[in-house]
Amino acid sequence: MFNKLPHFSYSDGLHQYLLGMAIDCSDYTNQNIYQLISIWIFGVCLVVTVNYYFGFLDRPKFSSITYWISSSIVVSALLGLFAYYKAANGLSPYNHCSELSFYRTDCILFGLTTFAYSSFIIFVFSMIFKWFSTDNKKVPF
């Protein structure tokens, strides 16, 4: 799913690597990193949002927009770094198909794309779960 969404302009070489292009360039037999990142985005964002609205953080002292924004940025940044490192693992010439060409800036753009989608997913989950919270109903709006 993640590979079909709009993204920052990283190269087609990185895109093929993330889809799981084999090292011998024959087929897509390696791990699909898009699927892995999508699972991590939805899983981590869901856990963090449920914890904020129903768990340990559902307390009056955490009921502020500042805390919500800072926790959203931290979680999205961690997911972006995870995506960057998963993409950067293929930078070595022996870790990807020799016909593919991509650079560190492509990996950074993939990490930024993950950051943006993580922030959006946290916002969507927050709009859904906030109505059922006892103390954080007014966060983020």
Query: 85, 86, 60, 72: which is closest to 115 by C-alpha?
Result: 72
- For residues 17 and 90, the answer to whether their CB atoms sit within 8 Å is yes
Provide the pLDDT for residue 40.
Answer: 94
Provide the pLDDT for residue 136.
Answer: 62
pLDDT in tens, 73-104: 999 999 999 999 988 887 776 777 777 777 88
Q: Is residue 61 part of a domain?
A: yes
- For residues 96 and 33, the answer to whether their CB atoms sit within 8 Å is no
**pLDDT interval class at 13 (50, 70, 90):** confident
Q: How far, in Å, CA of 136 to CA of 10, rounded?
A: 38
Q: Which domain holds residue 51?
A: 38-92+103-132
Q: How far, in Å, CA of 49 to CA of 105, rounded?
A: 30
Which CA distances in Å does 93 have to 27, 54, 97, 107? 18, 46, 8, 15
Q: Is residue 114 part of a domain?
A: yes
Q: Is residue 119 part of a domain?
A: yes
- For residues 108 and 84, the answer to whether their CB atoms sit within 8 Å is yes
Q: Is residue 32 part of a domain?
A: no
| Model confidence at 1: pLDDT above 60 | no
Q: Is residue 71 part of a domain?
A: yes
Q: Is residue 4 part of a domain?
A: no
Domain count, the chain: 1
Q: Which of 11-15, 81-85, 102-106, 134-138 has the highest mean pLDDT?
A: 81-85
| Model confidence at 105: pLDDT above 70 | yes
Q: Is 91 exposed, middle or buried (0-12, 13-18, 19+ CB in 10 A)?
A: middle
